[in-house]
Amino acid sequence: MTQPGDARTALAQAAARFGFSPTARLDAELLLAHAMGIERNALLLDPTRAVPEAFWPLVERRAREEPVAYIIGTRGFWTLDLMVGPGALVPRVDSETLIAAALAHFGGRQPATLLDLGTGPGTLLLALLDEWRGTRGLGVDRSAAALAYAVANAAACGLAERARFARGDWATALVGPFDCIVTNPPYIGTAEPLSPEVRDYEPGSALFAGSDGLDDYRLLAPELRRLLAPGGAAVVEIGHRQAAPVTALLEAQGLAVSLHHDLGGRPRALLAH
């Protein structure tokens, strides 16, 4: 019989505090597993475990809408568990659309060189390097905090020998060519509303791109054309209302563009070659 204070009761109490989150129960499970030092699956298999006191401060942090990834220090993305924290954009499942699009485009081929512009904690670069074992990659970001996570993630994932990182402003001073370029630039308009979870915690420099959210695409489009190797491809994340204007920017550079949708059916990535 379940006793008061066991994991099942604690999860229900915590989830009730997270009414702002569409994944309230999952959030609670991840926090409790972290507090217990076990995998979430182990918690679900035995929800009668005793609850450590360390769980409740985590609940308080989440109740203030701090991202779960920042609280537990990791976020799963594609096949990897990536370390993440303040100063680095939290990896999102929607961005896995870029990985799927790149893998589908190259098929059985492995690009020799990979560039990730705005790499953050190494999200796209490391996911693709884990798939393409013969590829070498470069991740560029202007944030020293984000790059520190990227370097640590490359080492933790066993990819440090094939991944290098540089601090820089997009493609400034970079010399190509690269066979594959991936990028998840800021694309939120400065007046667009955001949840406190994003607005108050994640770095604004990784979110906002001018009044229409297109400023960084305007900078990137000619650089993608310049840096792409013959036969190469670039995969660009977009906001779900930005397919038409970003396609126009890329086509103006002479690139052929195809649209890819995320698992929710929303426009999410453009592949240009």
- Burial of 85-107, coded b for 16+ CB within 10 Å and e otherwise, reads bebbbbbbebbbbbbbbbeebbe
208 and 256 co-located in one domain:
yes
| pLDDT for 42 beyond 80 | yes
265 and 135 co-located in one domain:
yes
Split into its structural domains, the chain has a count of 2
| pLDDT for 116 beyond 70 | yes
What value does the mean pLDDT take over residues 149-153? 98
218 and 265 co-located in one domain:
yes
What residue has token string 């990791």? 74
pTM: 0.92
What value does the mean pLDDT take over residues 60-66? 98
- What percentage of the chain has pLDDT greater than the value 70? 98
For residue 22, tell me if it sits in a domain: yes
Q: For residue 203, give its domain range.
A: 74-272
Name the burial class of residue 116, with classes exposed (0-12), middle (13-18) and buried (19+) by CB atoms within 10 angstroms of its CB: buried
pLDDT digit string, tens, across residues 224-267: 999 999 999 999 999 999 999 999 999 999 999 999 999 999 99
237 and 143 co-located in one domain:
yes
Instruction: Tell me the two tokens of residue 95.
Output: 């961005």
For residue 2, tell me if it sits in a domain: no
* CATH number assigned to the domain comprising residue 178: 3.40.50.150
What is the spatial distance between Cα 246 and Cα 251, in angstroms, rounded to a whole number? 9
32 and 90 co-located in one domain:
no
Those residues whose C-beta lies under 8 Å from the C-beta of residue 200, and which sit 6 or more positions away, are 65
84 and 54 co-located in one domain:
no
- CA 213-218-224 angle, to 5 degrees, is 125
Average pLDDT across the chain, whole number: 95
52 and 137 co-located in one domain:
no
What value does the mean pLDDT take over residues 80-95? 96
* CATH number assigned to the domain comprising residue 59: 1.10.8
User: Residue 105: its pLDDT value, please?
Assistant: 97
What is the spatial distance between Cα 136 and Cα 164, in angstroms, rounded to a whole number? 8
Beta bridge partners of 234: 181, 272
- CA 147-153-156 angle, to 5 degrees, is 150
For residue 119, tell me if it sits in a domain: yes
120 and 211 co-located in one domain:
yes
For residue 116, tell me if it sits in a domain: yes
| pLDDT for 1 beyond 50 | no
159 and 80 co-located in one domain:
yes
Phi, then psi, of 136 in degrees rounded to 5: -115, 145
- Burial of 159-196, coded b for 16+ CB within 10 Å and e otherwise, reads beebbebeeeebbeebebebbbbbbbbbbbbeeeeeee
For residue 69, tell me if it sits in a domain: no
- Where does the pLDDT of residue 108 fall: very low under 50, low under 70, confident under 90, or very high at 90 and above? confident
Terminal-residue alpha carbon distance, the chain? 61
What residue has token string 């796209």? 124
171 and 52 co-located in one domain:
no
244 and 189 co-located in one domain:
yes
Nearest Cα neighbor of 103 from 94, 114, 93 is 114
For residue 1, tell me if it sits in a domain: no
DSSP annotation string for 192-211: S---HHHHTTS-GGGTB-ST
For residue 81, tell me if it sits in a domain: yes
Instruction: Tell me the two tokens of residue 163.
Output: 């991944």
For residue 27, tell me if it sits in a domain: yes
58 and 106 co-located in one domain:
no
Domain ends where: 64, 83, 98? 64
